[in-house]
A and B are shown apart, each in its own frame.
Chain A
Amino acid sequence: EADIYQTPRYLVIGTGKKITLECSQTMGHDKMYWYQQDPGMELHLIHYSYGVNSTEKGDLSSESTVSRIRTEHFPLTLESARPSHTSQYLCASSEAGDGYTFGSGTRLTVV
């Protein structure tokens, strides 16, 4: 079944730690995205990718980085987590104008 998977679902981590949020999709979509969303609030685009080896920063400044070495995989890394990074992170993929398929999200808490 075509889908998009994010792991972990929940993560509590100490300040200064390095973390990687995983995102994988099985649909073969070229475009992938990372959004940051405080619970029930607006979505803010932080990174996107048009395809392998293509990554761009989004509208919201973020201290995270992404990579796209394989079509299906689009991980997001925080080199040094801070309490201000506490939020929900949503990964999505799309093809042309068909709309986005979103993962279930990773809820990150930095203590």
Chain B
Amino acid sequence: GEDVEQSLFLSVREGDSSVINCTYTDSSSTYLYWYKQEPGAGLQLLTYIFSNMDMKQDQRLTVLLNKKDKHLSLRIADTQTGDSAIYFCASYLGGFKTIFGAGTRLFVKA
């Protein structure tokens, strides 16, 4: 069935790069998204990549997509304490259907 999987936790030091990984099962995914959720808030769309792209860069964020392995990653360069949050990977299958992962909790140590 359709599924999106992420590791639950990641801890990095301030200034280092963070890499959050995600795998998805449905090859018909057209868009893949990364959302950020801070405590007590809704989800904020960070970036997305169309399924025919391999990479997208947006300031400190780099998204890599390996469509063959159905693997998506989000790299945050020069991670700051303000980046501490939950990051959700999501796969858009068309219509109303978006599958969200369970979220990766990023802890940034000063």
Which residues of A line the B interface, CB within 8 A?
6, 31, 33, 40-43, 45, 48, 50, 56, 90, 92, 94, 97-105, 107
Contact = CB atoms under 8 A, between A and B. Distances in A.
Nearest to A90: B42
The size class of the interface chain B forms with chain A is 20 to 34
Given A40-B103, A42-B102, A97 B96 contact: no
Given A40-B105, A104-B41, A107-B40, 4 more contacts: A92-B42, A99-B92, A100-B35, A105-B41
Interface of chain A, main secondary structure: strand
B105 to A, nearest CB: 7
A90 B42 CA distance: 7
29 contacts: A6-B42, A31-B96, A33-B96, A40-B86, A40-B103, A41-B103, A42-B103, A45-B96, A50-B96, A90-B43, A92-B43, A94-B98, A97-B31, A97-B50, A97-B92, A98-B48, A99-B31, A99-B35, A99-B48, A99-B92, A100-B35, A100-B45, A100-B98, A102-B42, A102-B44, A104-B42, A105-B40, A105-B41, A107-B40
